[in-house]
Amino acid sequence: MKANIEIDCSNPEKVIKSLEPDIDENGKFDVQLTTDKNIVKIKVESEDISGLLAGINSYLRLIKITKDLEEIK
């Protein structure tokens, strides 16, 4: 199962750099983060729906927090 998500962001490189420590091999899902202009692209792959949802929810939550912190500065 795969999911591809694109999120508009004013500084996508900064978002990805802040998330790099959280990208790990956890066994439930695989994730790839890339940028294209002002977009953060998330690709999540998993063998089952629960792993896919776990990956999507985790990274959407982390990206939201990162974007919120960026706006505070």
**Residue partners of 60: CB distance under 8 A and separation at least 6:** 5, 42
| Superfamily of the domain at 2-72 | Alpha-D-phosphohexomutase, C-terminal domain (3.30.310.50)
- The pLDDT-based confidence of 23 (bands split at 50, 70, 90) is confident
Q: What are the pLDDT digits (tens) for 25-57?
A: 677 899 999 999 999 999 999 999 999 999 999
Contact 63, 23 (CB under 8 A): no
The H-assigned helical ranges of 20-48 are none
